[in-house]
């Protein structure tokens, strides 16, 4: 199975690294516009093959899309990341043009690929990719919920002082500092509600920390995060390529689900060989429904800014 990752920067290269050492795909192509950059990252990753013991072939390409031909999955991480103090939404002006041209180029050589959109503002970039390419909705997956949910479980594990892998939880809604919805009500510690162990005040802080998880790291690092984002993309790609049918919160085009239409937003999805196999309808309470509608309003107003790109 072949995966192309467009954008060999922090997130793209980390994703290639995790896909390789976990043996998720037999071939990975990294592509970037910076001369020699993707080739360099690919060579560096390949020189781990004997020490970490993998057989995936990783190669790089400077903007030559013919090398990406017949990819099963294409990941789009090209574009600029935010700097401290910025929101993801501020990236739209530059990233919309990049994402649209990349999506057009990859489809020329991999017309059947499933596209995973990572560039920010991610929900709007997923919507742009869907509208610009006209692909069926199962083949456009925005990655954000997998990462936000892993951060949510991290903050819950810190509050509980228990391992992250013993914690279950999910974040739905938009992938933005104010639009994410960490579902504290249904989060659990090995099957027991986390509210059995944590006060409402602590749970509110966990949710607030989760929502600004990306901003916190951007403040610490000077650019946005890459280890957890890259690993989260690899996790999603694994579920597609190996038809694992995992339930992962992904940004997907909604047609009435969760009361929303004509928008890409994070909801629980079954992810398998066809991409989005199913949108799972979980029961939200009235407060969560209200938060979802508010989140949709914000994502929709960002999508309005795409009119000139899509015209
Ligand atoms: N959805 C999510 O959960 C996450 C999204 N992101 C987003 O992912 C994007 C990438 O972040 P980083 O990897 O940290 O940035 P980066 O700056 O390290 O890498 C971006 C790469 O894209 C390349 N690029 C730019 N235009 C291109 C084009 N037209 N064709 C091919 N390559 C091109 C650049 O040369 C650069 O190497 C950002 O927009 C960031 O906000 C980052 C983390 C998580
Ligand atoms: O924070 C950012 O800008 C990058 C991102 O989406 C994340 O790490 O969640």
pLDDT tens sequence across 1-28: 999 999 999 999 999 999 999 999 999 9
Map residue 7 onto helix, strand or coil: coil
Look up residue 229 and give its two tokens.
């984002």
The pLDDT value recorded for residue 87 is 93
The pLDDT value recorded for residue 205 is 98
Q: ipTM of this predicted complex? A: 0.99
Report the pLDDT averaged over residues 102-124: 98
The pLDDT value recorded for residue 307 is 80
Query: Which segments within 241-282 are labelled E, that is strand?
Result: 246-255, 261-272, 275-279
- pTM for this predicted structure: 0.98
Look up residue 126 and give its DSSP letter: H
Domain with CATH 3.40.50.720 in the chain: 2-143
The pLDDT value recorded for residue 300 is 97
108 ligand 1 Cβ < 6 A: no
H or E, element range at 73: strand 73-76
Catalytic residue among 175, 183, 268, 284: 175
Report the pLDDT averaged over residues 143-159: 98
Report the pLDDT averaged over residues 95-108: 97
Mean residue pLDDT of the chain comes to: 97
pLDDT surpasses 80 at 154: yes
pLDDT tens sequence across 191-222: 999 999 999 999 999 999 999 999 999 999 99
Lining residues, ligand 2, CB within 6 Å? 81-82, 88, 120, 147, 214, 218, 224-225, 229
The pLDDT value recorded for residue 41 is 98
Report the pLDDT averaged over residues 71-80: 98
Best residue among 6, 30, 32, 141 to mutate for probing ligand 1, ranked by most atoms within 8 Å of CB: 32
The pLDDT value recorded for residue 308 is 75
Residue nearest to atom 9 of ligand 2 (CA): 214
The pLDDT value recorded for residue 267 is 98
The rounded Å distance from CA 214 to ligand 2 centre is: 4
CATH top-level class for 2-143?
Answer: alpha beta
Report the pLDDT averaged over residues 17-43: 98
Helix intervals (H) in the chain: 10-21, 37-46, 92-109, 122-133, 145-160, 200-211, 213-221, 227-241, 286-303, 307-310
The pLDDT value recorded for residue 309 is 76
Domain with CATH 3.90.110.10 in the chain: 145-306
Report the pLDDT averaged over residues 254-266: 98
pLDDT-derived band at 185 (thresholds 50, 70, 90) equals very high
Question: Which atom of ligand 1 lies nearest, measured to the CA of 11?
Answer: 13
> Quick check: is 251 catalytic?
no
The rounded Å distance from CA 34 to ligand 1 centre is: 12
CATH tag for 145-306 (out of 3.40.50.2300, 3.80.30.20, 3.90.110.10, 3.10.20.340)? 3.90.110.10
Q: Give Cα separations from 291 to 172, 174, 180, 284, 308 (angstroms).
A: 10, 10, 9, 10, 29
Torsion over CA: 234, 237, 239, 242 (sign):
negative
Report the pLDDT averaged over residues 274-295: 98
pLDDT surpasses 90 at 310: no
CA distance 174 to 266: 6
């Amino acid at each position: 199975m072949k995966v192309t990752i467009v954008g060999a920067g922090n997130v793209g290269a980390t994703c290639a690294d995790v896909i390789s050492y976990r043996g998720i795909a037999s071939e990975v192509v990294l592509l970037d516009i910076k001369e020699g950059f993707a080739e360099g990252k690919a060579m560096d990753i390949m020189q781990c093959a004997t020490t970490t013991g993998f057989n995936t072939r990783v190669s790089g390409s400077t903007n030559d899309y013919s090398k990406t031909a017949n990819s099963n999955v294409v990941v789009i991480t090209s574009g600029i990341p935010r700097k401290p103090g910025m929101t993801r939404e501020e990236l739209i002006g530059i990233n919309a043009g990049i994402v649209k041209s990349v999506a057009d180029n990859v489809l020329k050589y991999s017309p059947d690929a499933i596209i995973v959109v990572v560039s920010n503002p991610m929900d709007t970039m997923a919507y742009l990719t869907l509208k610009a390419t006209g692909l069926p909705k199962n083949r456009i997956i925005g990655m954000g919920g997998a990462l936000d949910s892993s951060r949510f479980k991290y903050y819950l594990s810190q509050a509980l002082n228990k391992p992250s892998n013993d914690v279950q939880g999910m974040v739905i809604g938009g992938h933005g500092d104010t639009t994410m919805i960490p579902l504290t009500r249904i989060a659990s510690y090995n099957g027991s509600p986390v509210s059995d162990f944590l006060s409402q005040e602590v749970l509110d802080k966990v949710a607030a920390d989760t929502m600004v998880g990306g901003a916190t790291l951007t403040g610490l690092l000077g650019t946005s995060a890459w280890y957890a984002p890259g690993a989260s993309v690899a996790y999603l790609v694994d579920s597609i390529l190996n038809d694992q049918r995992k339930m992962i919160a992904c940004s997907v085009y909604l047609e009435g689900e969760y009361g929303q239409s004509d928008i890409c937003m994070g909801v629980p999805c079954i992810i398998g060989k066809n991409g989005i196999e199913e949108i799972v309808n979980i029961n939200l309470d009235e407060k969560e429904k209200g938060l979802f509608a508010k989140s949709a309003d914000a994502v929709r107003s960002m999508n309005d800014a795409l009119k000139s790109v899509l015209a």
